[in-house]
Structure 1
Amino acid sequence: MNTSRFAEINCSISRTLAVMGDAWTSLILRDVWFGVNRFDDLANDLGISRNLLTSRLKAMVEDDIIVAVPYQQRPVRNEYFLTTAGKELVPVLLTLVEWGERWRIEPGKSPLRVKHKGCGHYTHATVVCSECGDPLTIDNIAPELGPGATATPGTSVVVPRFS
């Protein structure tokens, strides 16, 4: 999927998809988060072609999602680590995990558990209101145009009406 034109659309979702809209990018992000940091290990774990992995890693470095740190000089070989922006995408991955657990994984067959280091309990992603802490659902939120809204291609400036 070519997501390069998404970066031109005045929409937060579109601009995020310009960076993360490719499934391989999300899976590379997952693996780097899990500690799979070297090219050969990523290629083997994901079963991705070397050319495709090279292009995705390059784009992720350019987008400041990961950083390449050389661990060998001849030939140059890198380890990849999450940047601050990459770390802030991990909760997005957790939200995808939560949806997948609910809609695509057989109950009791979860391939991943996430433990909260603070309290030691297993947890799951929940999107909550930043002001009151209530869980956000489609039934209790309403989109409104923001101060940067413009009528441009690919951007709906018509906000749905809710009753």
Structure 2
Amino acid sequence: AGGRLLPWRALARVPWTTLLLLGGGFALAAAVQESGLAAWMAGRLSGIGALPPLVQLAAASTVTVAVSALASNSATTAVMLVVLAEAAAPAVRLPVLVAATLAASCDFALPVGTPPNAIVFGSGYVRIPVMARFGAPLDLVAALAAALWCAWAVPLVLGHGA
């Protein structure tokens, strides 16, 4: 009780680039919302609500993983939930939002995708082209897995259809 979770020696070794990367993601989310970009994105994705439910889930997950490659998970989630809440059909809004939330943590292609990606990249042992080559196929698989899981689990657990 009252002990430190992480000793200062370990925290002091975290590269500043990693900290700036994560902080920049939070700033990006705020800027996207304040600038009206989130509303603009929702307008561009407005057709998603007319698609079949499983396609809405797959599209939301895939777009979210793609955005997550460019911004932190928290920034991506903050932006995409606002965008998709407007774009998804009301009957499947909750499953779409849950799928997007899961998908925001599923980028493996670039350092900014997840904190572990940033840490691995910061080590200097893995370069971006290698991350992208192996991570992009994983991104697609993860997006589709999130969509399929939400099509099954959200109606089962939360009682909202997909």
Which bracket does the TM-score occupy, shorter chain normalised? under 0.3
TM-score (norm 2): 0.23
User: Of the two, which has the highest radius of gyration?
Assistant: 1
Structure with the larger RCO, 1 or 2 (CA within 8 Å, 6+ apart): 2
Greater per-residue strand proportion = 1
The TM-score with structure 1 as length reference comes to: 0.23
